[in-house]
Amino acid sequence: MEREIAGLSSMATRPVLAEVAAHIGLAHGIPVRFDAAGGVEIARRVREGAEADVLVLAAGALAALEAEGHLVAGTARPLWISQVVAAVPEGAPVPALDSEADLRAALLSARTIAYSTGPSGTALVELIARLGLADSLTDRLVQAPPGVPAGSLLSSGRADLAFQQHSELMDLPGVVVAGPLPGDTAISSTFGAAVLATSTARDRAREVLDLLSSVPASATARARGMCPATDA
């Protein structure tokens, strides 16, 4: 039996990769399994020499790891773009997000605001500062632990507004997605893939990269709240 291709990924792409990996196994006979965790945690594992074949992370993290020699040179490629969305607990009023004024009103009316680790969380904090709301909101911000969806703080009652990648919020029980951030406040992340330098099956790993960029994988990404990077 052919050796399983091992992948590492951040939580944002986990739902897409689970479906795509199953398709690759059935349609192409290549067993693939992705281990997902917070993006910061995955990058730490790679830097510590984790043995795997394929890495899927935010583009900035991939570029840093490639520069440090942890990826096979020239294999990194963009895959999908994900929008950060706002969400509220099921049963709560869903705020309008048609304008920057709507977003400001939603932020200022929230008692507790949950956000994630990684690039999307950093971007949200920077956005709040750019809107001039840092002083008003700092005490209301709650960062979810690495690998824990920010939306889970909604369903547990620890927050009444949350921001995270759409793919991580869309299927959480007890959570309603209000929509993406409007206009110039929109936050998006590009996720890409590469072959890890520790891979002992580099040709097969490159084949998996091609399949992650395929039409079926793009269709899965769209269904899971992302769009192919080729659409940008």
In the chain, domain spans: 5-81+190-231, 82-185
State the pLDDT at residue 148.
84
Collapsing DSSP to helix, strand or coil, 121 comes out as helix
Residue pLDDT, tens place only, 10-23: 988 998 999 999 99
CA-based R_g, the chain, Å: 18
- Residue written as tokens 């792409």? 13
Give the separation between CA 30 and CA 150, rounded to whole angstroms.
33
Give the separation between CA 156 and CA 170, rounded to whole angstroms.
16
Per-residue pLDDT at 118 exceeds 80: no
Residue pLDDT, tens place only, 134-178: 999 999 999 998 778 898 999 889 999 999 988 888 888 999 999
Amino acid identity at 145: P
Residues with Cβ within 8 Å of 1's Cβ and at least 6 positions away in sequence, in order, are 31
State the pLDDT at residue 103.
97
Per-residue pLDDT at 1 exceeds 60: no
State the pLDDT at residue 66.
97
- Residue written as tokens 């479906």? 19
| Percentage of the chain exceeding pLDDT 70 | 99
Rounded to 5 degrees, what are φ and ψ at 194? -160, 165
Rounded to an integer, the average pLDDT of 70-95 is 95
Class of domain 82-185: alpha beta
Per-residue pLDDT at 113 exceeds 70: yes
State the pLDDT at residue 147.
75
Residues with Cβ within 8 Å of 99's Cβ and at least 6 positions away in sequence, in order, are 182, 183
Amino acid identity at 116: S
Residues with Cβ within 8 Å of 119's Cβ and at least 6 positions away in sequence, in order, are 39, 58, 60, 61, 189
User: Could you tell me the sign of the dihedral formed by the alpha carbons of 97, 145, 158, 122, in that order?
Assistant: negative
Rounded to 5 degrees, what are φ and ψ at 146? -55, 135
Residue 171, token pair as written in the block: 């299927």
Q: What is the mean pLDDT of the chain?
A: 93
Rounded to an integer, the average pLDDT of 26-34 is 95
pLDDT bracket for residue 232 (50, 70, 90): low
State the pLDDT at residue 149.
85
State the pLDDT at residue 146.
79
- Residue written as tokens 């984790």? 50
Residue 61, token pair as written in the block: 């993290």
Rounded to 5 degrees, what are φ and ψ at 117? -80, 175
CATH superfamily of 5-81+190-231: Periplasmic binding protein-like II (3.40.190.10)
